[in-house]
Chain A
Amino acid sequence: MVRKIATREGYGNALAEFGGDKRIVVMDSDLSKSTKTDTFKKKYPERFFNMGIAEASMMSVAAGIATCGKVVFASSFAVFASGRAFDQVRNSICYPELNVKIGASHAGITVGEDGGTHQSIEDIAIMRALPNMVVISPADAVEARHAVKAAIEYDGPVYLRLGRLAVPVIFDEDSYSFELGKGITLSEGKDVAIIATGLMVNTALEAKELLEKEGISARIINIHTIKPIDSDIILKAAKETGAIVTAEEHSIIGGLGSAVAEVLGQNFPVPLKMVGVEDRFGKSGKPDKLLEMYGLTASNILSKAKEAIKMKR
């Protein structure tokens, strides 16, 4: 049986694990049980601040605390952290380059039953457009733990995109290594490269098996840091496979697919197909049913891969 843990769990546990560092301050906006910052709160109550349902103020307060030499984690749902508080993230955090880490949980459609109002499908697009912002989207709880560690070590704004849904743990804690801004080739392949982020990394690995059955050799690349994007690994894949498919639990406008298109278009154009949310809002439902409805599946990656390969000249 595969072990399943949500990336938000990995986030909360990591905050508690690394929380001995006195510089760390954690803030939440009445969602500490959902974002899992309550794990930190229980261990270090004196360094936990609940700001109430006031995300805008929370982001600027976090910035103010950061000016005093602290590493501040500010948490909410992705839709509010990036949307409600956008101007605060922009002007209070990114513009002055302050050491604030935004722990944005419940990203994507796998929020499930809460529906479209709560499912952030545009946060990567808007966060990655901000100068000075680093955007990380972990694929599993192990990667989330390492992302938290990297965010603490990095001096500057970071947006951590986390999920609500328990997803398969695909990495091995002992052998995993995280380097900010560096993609990871999970398996080699020569006909097409599938570049994925977040929970779609596991889906891409499933797609690889489907492709193999049809005699197609697919390279699988995990992009945990969407900004700065690892252009080298993308261009190498483009040159060696000649066709790319991106896969993300986010709108195909402005997300990983767009980031990859920007790299390819300006350096080494090859056929590119995107698997993601096709410019529409999410809706209520069970997460697995929603993934199917929105085409975030291994079979959709398979057909997109075949289309991309067909487009090769």
Chain B
Amino acid sequence: MAISKQQSNRLKKYATLIRRHIIDETFHAASGHPGGSLSCSDIMAVLYFNEMRLDPQNPAWEDRDRFVLSKGHCAPALYAALAEKGFFPREDLITFRHIDSYLEGHPNMRTVPGVDMSTGSLGQGISAAVGMAIAGKLDKKDYRVYTLLGDGEIQEGQVWESCMAAAHYKLDNLVAILDYNGLQIDGKITEVLSPEPIEEKFTAFGWKVISINGHDYSQIIDGLAEAKRSKGKPTMIIARTTKGKGVSFMENAAGWHGTAPDREQRDKAMSELDEVLAKLEVE
């Protein structure tokens, strides 16, 4: 279903703000992971500003939807979304990874308001999300559980262990989104150790599989809506993305996985993103 220009512009604005924060967080930390954070910014914008039931005033609200960032290295994107949503002050974002900050290098549920699970060791987040979905069923709650995985991350055997469990326990309150950007640290996923064919694997593991363009808001929204309609099985949304999306010189470059921009690169990235925001203003 096509979405209105207004709705799409609103989401584009949030995604661009998230991208700006990612650049600033990693710049001020002089470390961190911009590539995979930028590739999932549009998905994060839809989750936090269109999809999830949350109350920033009450991060521990029992009936909230849950989100687990299984690819925990993309904390800059999660923190940016949480700050924009109002869980904590935006100004704090530039303390990311600093010694006196609560914004740990990887998501820490004990220090960061709005983080539902500590992650960082790849493969574990999706299992935790399975646990939350099991608890939701046990307590007959109607909250939904979302988790975001990297395409390199699915090389972890644990991902498939939890996929088996999710299908076995018919967790239709669980949606996993795969940030299918084709890259991991050492290069292309197909060259490092191919997890292909990905769709067929998840289908064979008993999941409903939906393939979308992960930068197209209406496709993300439709995918999430379709997941809600699916009964008796968990849903895997395979979102085709571009690593480094939105910053021209970071796009599709494995080198930007875990490298922070320097001052000049930061300024160049910011001007590109500001241009996007300015265009949205005009529209």
Contacts and interface: CB of A to CB of B under 8 A. Distances in A.
B138 interface: yes
Contact of B120 (A51, A52, A91): A91
A60 B134 CA distance: 12
B118 A95 contact: yes
A96 B106 CA distance: 12
A66 interface: yes
Interface string B77-117: 00000000000000000000000000000001110000011
B161 interface: yes
B127 interface: yes
A88 B138 CA distance: 23
B127 A92 contact: yes
Contacts of A90: 121
A67 B164 contact: no
Contact of A67 (B121, B132, B139, B165): B132
A44 to B, nearest CB: 11
B135 A63 contact: no
Contact of B134 (A49, A91, A96): A49
A206 to B, nearest CB: 44
A69 B117 CA distance: 13
B128 interface: yes
B184 interface: no
A61 B134 contact: yes
B165 A61 contact: yes
Interface in A58-115: 59-70, 87-88, 90-92, 95-97
Interface residues of A, number: 29
Interface string A254-292: 000000000000000000000000000000000000000
A171 B72 CA distance: 47
B135 A52 contact: no
A313 B271 CA distance: 76
A47 B124 contact: no
Overall SS of chain A's interface = helix
B117 A56 contact: no
Contacts of A88: 121, 124, 127, 158
A25 interface: yes
Interface string A128-159: 00000000000000000000000000000000
A57 interface: yes
Contact of A62 (B66, B131, B158): B131
Given A25-B138, A67-B117, A61 B109 contact: no
Contacts of A56: 123, 127, 157-158, 161
B110 A57 contact: no
B40 to A, nearest CB: 21
Contacts of B136: 68
Nearest to A56: B158
B110 A97 contact: yes
B183 to A, nearest CB: 24
B128 A64 contact: yes
Given A60-B127, A62-B131, A96 B169 contact: no
Given A54-B158, A66-B131, A88-B121, 16 more contacts: A51-B165, A52-B161, A52-B164, A56-B161, A57-B127, A61-B131, A61-B134, A64-B134, A67-B109, A67-B131, A67-B135, A90-B121, A91-B124, A92-B121, A92-B127, A96-B118
7 contacts: A49-B134, A64-B131, A64-B132, A67-B116, A87-B121, A95-B118, A96-B117
Interface of B: 62, 66, 68, 108-110, 116-121, 123-125, 127-136, 138-139, 157-158, 161-162, 164-165, 168-169
